[in-house]
Chain A
Amino acid sequence: MIATITGIGWLTADGIGAGRRPAGFSVSTGPMPAVTREMAFPDPMPRFGRMDDLSRLGLSAMAMALKDAGCFEWSQKRSIGILAGTVYGCLHTDRAFFDTLCADSGQSPSPSLFAYTLPSCMLGEAAIVFGLTGPSCIVNDAGLTDITCIRVALENILSGDAGTVLCGVCDLGAPPFMRDSRKGLPGAIFFMLENHPDRSETVYGHLDLDTAGKVRFNGIETINMIELVEKCLDSAGRTALTGNTP
């Protein structure tokens, strides 16, 4: 066993939820709901309104996963890593920034938009909001329909580079100027992975890598993030809603 899953959170076109909360889990192709601070954060948070859409989506799902794992509240920064997969990243923000650049022949591009033209800025926001000082990076092109980011997180834990990782995927879907691709379904799912959880009662199950590098949940190969959520909920005696998009 490399790690255990201690928390799950999601925000998809079908709504927001967490492993131990009543709302069921399902994923459809959208459209995504408008993401508001109140969905996941109980207290006012001025910086939420300044964030780009990718950050709002990602942080909301991360908040649900942290709450589910009992790690939402904090007073001291924690050495927890963040790893997020994305296919389209911040292309929506790239477009918004470039439009400010084109508006007057490059005279006044928006600095606040430019700050969000790196997908890893979502992780910077999460690090600040949740007090997470572990390694953080984005991996492409890892979406809801594959398991790459879980594999990478398990490798990081196995190599000793991380002990606890908030790991998941976050995508707004294909921007209007790109061909649609089912690789990048809109939505965000995050898992809390811990190598030595001191709260065994909160464990959904165990994750491993087999010799071929395939991800196994409780010993069974798992091929994408949606399936992993469903297996976790099954393991906890809960069921996902039917009709999830593979």
Chain B
Amino acid sequence: MASNRQQAQLKRQAVWITDAACTTALGDSRQSTWDGLINNRSAIRPVNGFSAPFSGKLRVAARIDDLTSSRRHSRVFSLIDRVLAPFSAVPPASRLITATTKAGIDFFERRRLGETIDSEDLLLASIAHHVSRRLDISGPMLNISAACASGTLAVGKAAALIATGLADSVVVICADLVTDFVLSGFSALKALSPGPCRPFDRHRQGLSLGEGAAAVTLMSGECARRHGRPLLGRILGWGASNDATHMTAPDRNGKGLIQAIHQALGVAGLSPDDIHAVNAHGTGTIYNDQMEMIAFDAVFGQRPLNVFSIKGAIGHTLGAAGGIETVIGLESLRRKMIPPTTGFQVAAQGVGDRVSMSAKPSESRYMLSTNSGFGGVNGALVIGAAA
């Protein structure tokens, strides 16, 4: 990573968000997800085991019940088709970056339980191939897998390609499902909350999983003008790091996240004092939420800062989280409103008055969005208002 001084010397062109959509358990659109968030609704519900061998294992998750699947198609393709439904056509030469942790993991389970299915859809890259066909994109494509920071790193990579002139238009699609495989794994790690998760709350007991997808198109200003696309907002900065301390737990001192935030601010040419709103990872696990607050203390000090998490409403959408949070961060800037942290009631130690159970008006022009995940990975984005 270049130093902040080197970053300032790199000539970059502006990166514009020209289309943004999300599908979550709160709704199929950006609008319906936003409405649910702002009204403090949670889509986290009790779920049974999904396949016969696992029925009777009662847990909670934010699942999108009406996604369809078939012998040839995983539910993840139904999810992707749904998020792309309102999406504008993209220039055919656009590059494509997808992000997922488990892609068609439901297919994997069904195959192991004896069904005959198309096994190529088990590969993580299968969603990139699906999207390229669906959007008729001929440019280079790849899937990024970086645990729960996959979406954030995908948006950051897309922004870097445009900023450096390596691409004019990049489409980012992020998606992940909740299945018996995923639920049982997090349960085995004792990471699941028995009820809907409560990010940054004193009584938080773990995370809740959620299904979701996001679609974002990033363009250079010239490309957006040429194609008559609206300028919804900007990706100003991005950063990524690895804690290099533990496989499944974050660095308790938040060093990796601090590094990623400073990188993102350096790329954006902003100082910590410019940031007043943070869309945090906020999973509701003891260690994640604590680590994030330690990192925010280190970067921003004790000054007022609006921090929120949307995972109490839509669950932790894993590889899609960074994409969905980019869309919601953009929406927050556009509507000048900080959504409440659903599930939050009493501040945990170290949280102070940063987190609120109520929506708040905000004049912030920038939104910091952060994610961290297994394998010590951290990602940070700085999103800017359109004007």
A interface residue numbers (CB < 8 A to B): 77, 79, 81-82, 87-89, 91, 94-95, 97-99, 101-102, 105-106, 108-111, 114-115, 117-125, 127-128, 131-142, 148, 151-152, 155-156, 158-163, 177-179, 209, 213
Binds A, one of B25-33, B115-123, B330-338: B115-123
Contacts of B40 in A (CB 8 A): none
Docked Cα-Cα span, A159 to B7, in Å, equals: 9
- A123 near B54: Cβ-Cβ < 8 Å: no
B228 CB–A CB distance under 8 Å: no
Q: Is the CB of B240 within 8 A of A135?
A: yes
Kindly state the separation between the CA atoms of A22 and B132 in the bound complex, as whole angstroms: 44
**Given A127-B242, A128-B376, A162-B1, residue A118 in contact with residue B142 (CB < 8 A):** no
A136 contacts B146, C-beta separation under 8 Å: yes
Asked if B242 contacts A123 (CB within 8 A), the reply is yes
- Cβ of B166 and Cβ of A142 under 8 Å apart? no
Could you tell me if A133 and B243 are in contact, using CB atoms closer than 8 angstroms? Answer: yes
Q: Provide the bound-state CA to CA distance between A135 and B378, in Å.
A: 8
Residues of B within 8 A of A (CB): 1-2, 6-7, 10, 49, 53-54, 57, 101-102, 105, 108-109, 111-113, 119-120, 122-125, 128, 140, 142-147, 150, 153, 156-157, 160-161, 163-164, 166, 180-181, 184-190, 238, 240-248, 255-256, 259, 263, 267, 373-377
> In the complex, what distance in Å separates the CA atom of A134 from the CA atom of B54?
40
Contact B181 A161 (CB under 8 A): no
Given contacts A124-B242, A133-B244, A140-B124, contact A163 B1 (CB under 8 A): yes
Q: Which residues of chain A come closer than 8 Å to B160, judged between CB atoms?
A: 155-156, 159, 161
Neighbour of B184 across the interface among A77, A106, A139, CB < 8 A:
A106
Q: Which of B142, B143, B163, B244 contacts A77 (CB 8 A)?
A: B244
Known: A123-B377, A124-B247, A137-B144. 14 other contacts (CB 8 A): A77-B244, A88-B123, A94-B105, A95-B112, A111-B188, A120-B373, A124-B375, A135-B1, A136-B242, A156-B157, A156-B160, A159-B166, A160-B2, A161-B238
Q: Which of B108, B123, B243, B374 has the most CB of A within 10 A?
A: B123
Taking the closest CB of chain B, its distance from the CB of A114, in whole angstroms, is 4
Q: Are B248 and A109 in touch, CB under 8 angstroms?
A: no
Residues of A near B128 (CB, < 8 A) are 140
Q: How far is the CA of A70 from the CA of B106 in the complex (A)?
A: 44
A148 / chain B contacts, CB cutoff of 8 Å:
140, 142
Give the one of B120, B188, B256 with max A CB within 10 A: B188
A170 to chain B, nearest CB (A): 13
List the count of A-B residue pairs having beta carbons below 8 Å apart.
Answer: 201
Q: Known: A121-B374, A127-B244, A133-B244. Contact between A138 and B146, CB under 8 A? A: yes
A114-B189, A179-B120 known; A106-B57 Cβ under 8 A? yes
For the complex, what is the distance from the CA of A99 to the CA of B112, rounded to whole Å? 8
Q: How far is the CB of B121 from chain A (nearest CB, A)?
A: 10
Contact of B6 among A120, A142, A160, A213 (CB under 8 A): A160
Contact A106 B146 (CB under 8 A): no
Shortest beta-carbon distance from B365 to chain A in Å:
24
Task: Provide the bound-state CA to CA distance between A117 and B184, in Å.
Answer: 12
Inter-subunit contact A127/B123 (CB<8 Å): no
Docked-complex contact A127 and B145, CB < 8 angstroms: no
Q: Is the CB of A159 within 8 A of B242?
A: no
CB-nearest residue of chain A relative to B166?
A155
The answer to whether A94 touches B181, judged by C-beta atoms less than 8 angstroms apart, is yes
Q: Which residues of B contact A77 (CB under 8 A)?
A: 244
Known pairs A79-B1, A106-B53; A133 contacts B147 (CB<8 A): no
A179 to B123, CA, bound (A): 12
A115 touches B248 (CB 8 A): yes
Assess whether A137 is in contact with B377, with CB atoms less than 8 Å apart: yes
- Which of A125, A128, A135 has the most B CB atoms < 10 Å from its CB? A135
Q: Please state if B147 and A128 are interface contacts (CB–CB under 8 Å).
A: no
Residue of A whose beta carbon sits closest to that of B129 = A141
Distance from A221 Cβ to chain B, minimum over Cβ atoms (Å) = 15
CA distance A82 to B145 in the complex (A): 12
Residues of B close to A178: CB separation below 8 A: 119-120, 122
Chain B residue at minimum C-beta to C-beta distance from A88: B123
The docked-state distance in angstroms from the alpha carbon of A94 to that of B184 is 12
Q: Is the CB of A138 within 8 A of B240?
A: no
Could you pull out 16 A-B pairs where Cβ atoms are within 8 angstroms?
Answer: A95-B112, A101-B184, A109-B185, A118-B147, A125-B375, A127-B242, A132-B242, A132-B244, A133-B255, A133-B256, A137-B146, A138-B146, A140-B142, A141-B143, A160-B2, A161-B240
CB pair B57–A128 under 8 Å, yes or no, is no
A152 touches B142 (CB 8 A): yes
A213 in contact with B189 (CB, 8 Å): no
Query: Which are the 5 A-B pairs with shortest beta-carbon distances?
Result: A124-B375, A135-B240, A114-B185, A141-B125, A160-B2
A87 and B108 contact, Cβ closer than 8 Å, known pairs A138-B144, A139-B143, A140-B145:
no
A105 neighbours in B (Cβ, 8 Å): 53-54
Residues of B within 8 A of A108 (CB): 188
Chain A minimum-CB-distance residue to B145? A138
Q: CB-CB < 8 A to A160: which residues of B?
A: 1-2, 6-7, 10, 267
CB distance from A1 to the nearest CB of B (A): 16
Out of A79, A120, A142, name the residue touching B142 (CB < 8 Å).
A142
Please give the distance in Å from A53's CB to the nearest CB on chain B.
Answer: 16
Chain B residues near A94 (CB, 8 Å)? 105, 108, 181
Task: Decide yes or no: A137 and B245 within 8 Å by CB, A124-B375, A160-B10 being known contacts.
Answer: no
A123-B242, A123-B375 are contacts. A158–B164 as well, Cβ < 8 Å? yes
Closest chain A CB from B382 CB (angstroms): 14
Given contacts A102-B112, A158-B166, contact A134 B125 (CB under 8 A): no
Indicate the member of A95, A108, A128, A151 with the most B CB atoms within 10 Å: A128
